[in-house]
Amino acid sequence: MSSLTNQNIFTVSRLNAEVRLLLENEMGIVWLVGEISNFSAPVSGHWYLTLKDSRAQVKCAMFRGNNRHVSFKPTNGNQVLVKARLSLYEPRGDYQLIIESMQPEGDGRLQQQFEELKMKLASEGLFAQTSKQILPEHPKCVGVITSKTGAALFDILDVLKRRDPSLPVVIYPTMVQGEEAAIQIAQAIGRANARNECDVLIVGRGGGSLEDLWCFNNEIVARTIAASQIPIISAVGHEIDVTIADFVADMRAPTPSAAAELVSRDNSHKAQGIAGREQKLFGAWRYYLSQQKQQVSRLQHRLERQHPSQQLQRQSQQLDELDGRLQRAMQRFTALHQQKVERQLHRLQLHSPAKRLSLQQATLARVEQKLLDAMDRRLLNTRHQLAIAAEKLDTVSPLATLKRGYSITQDAQGQVVQSTTDVKTGDTLVTRLANGEVRSTVN
């Protein structure tokens, strides 16, 4: 522990920063093929995705400045070829690819192979202007290496017939498309060199897609052209089509017809010489530009590693991530708040005055009904008791006695006469019978 110093102790931030620099400086640019998944394009304009194969996956980011050059809209499931640099997203400690270009896998693979072979052969000097042969000013025989049924051959022959009908032409037929075409083209060049009957060769075909012209991007064809003792003019496709054969050949013609004009003489042969020199100058200038572009690319890559835009890109990615986290947090908060509101609403409904009033009204109705039932029972009992009492009262009632034939005599004051001593002569008496009364005077 005594040898441990503060410089040996890393913070997490410092560690991630060091690892990021190591990844960016050591790995540089990589090409990667994979299937797109988890693709997202937030409002910032950046793209975030995962590239995967059957056994692994890697996170990727493609910033707005680069993805605007992509010619198609990526979707999940696309197989793509990407050019990217390896980096590390420091806030999460995740290593990721920063994509600089993206192409569909098929075209992308061919373009990648084209660029790799171009850089390889350029580094070996096969494109250097110093290694190219000078075309004969007045060819004595022209060799044509192309398909014997293609339009390119007839275009070449038409131009030669029009400009210099006396110029001999030797045709070396070959396939110019397909898997076996590259071998056949190389063999035709070798055969022309072995026979040594021509002092210039035109190698080419008509226009087509990158895949159609691919045999002219083959390394075997390129090296065979470079090794040829006979000067070769590359005449592949249209003017916009560029192949490895164009870089390696001693001269490039924009079309097969133009190649025929270069090797034929007419009244404008001096202008033709100037055009040839212009072609050489153009080739040298194009080679120089290619070298300068590679140098600029290397310097730009070094600059990008230290450019503030890198930090801005990382911060922009972090902002997108924080925005995503905020969106998810807001959704969770809203869901929880909604659940809480629903629970409070349920509780409020359980304790609602209207519900309690309804329950009290139901209870009051039950009590009122019970009271009515009790009153009915009480009244019935009271009526029954009254009937019994009336019956008992009737039994002892004087009226009942009167009905049995008895009578009651009262004096004028209503006092019952119980003895003869209670009356005197001249008193008025009232005798009450069952069906009335009799008034009499005591004599």
Contact 155, 189 (CB under 8 A): no
Residue 193's closest CA among 234, 139, 229?
A: 229
Banded pLDDT at 406 (limits 50, 70, 90) = confident
Residue 126's closest CA among 245, 277, 292, 255?
A: 245
Q: Could you tell me if residue 29 is inside a domain?
A: yes
CA distances from 382 to 379, 386, 387 (A): 5, 6, 8
Q: Could you tell me if residue 162 is inside a domain?
A: yes
Contact 319, 44 (CB under 8 A): yes
Owning domain of residue 256: 125-265
130, 256: one domain: yes
- The whole-number pLDDT of residue 267 equals 47
Give ∠ CA 390-391-396 in degrees, rounded to 5.
90
Residues contacting residue 228 through CB under 8 Å, at least 6 positions apart: 189, 192, 193, 201
Per-residue DSSP letters for 63-132? -HHHHTT-SS---TT-EEEEEEEEEEETTTTEEEEEEEEEEEHHHHHHHHHHHHHHHHHHHTTTT-GGGP
177, 239: one domain: yes
Contact 228, 194 (CB under 8 A): no
Please indicate whether residue 184 or residue 347 has the higher confidence score (pLDDT): 184
Reported pTM:
0.44
Number of H helices, E strands in the chain: 12, 13
3-state secondary structure of 309: helix
Q: Could you tell me if residue 329 is inside a domain?
A: no
Mean pLDDT of the chain: 84
Q: Could you tell me if residue 438 is inside a domain?
A: yes
Banded pLDDT at 185 (limits 50, 70, 90) = very high
8-state DSSP, 209: -
- The whole-number pLDDT of residue 288 equals 84
For 63-119, the pLDDT digits (tens) are: 988 898 888 888 888 888 889 988 888 888 788 889 998 887 765 566 667 788 888
32, 129: one domain: no
Question: CATH code at 35?
Answer: 2.40.50.140
Residue 87's closest CA among 307, 325, 295, 323?
A: 307
Range from 137-151, 188-202, 366-380, 409-423 carrying the lowest mean pLDDT: 409-423
Q: How many domains does the chain have?
A: 4
Q: Could you tell me if residue 397 is inside a domain?
A: no
136, 186: one domain: yes
82, 193: one domain: no
> How would you classify residue 436: left for phi > 0, otherwise alpha for psi between -120 and 50, otherwise beta?
left
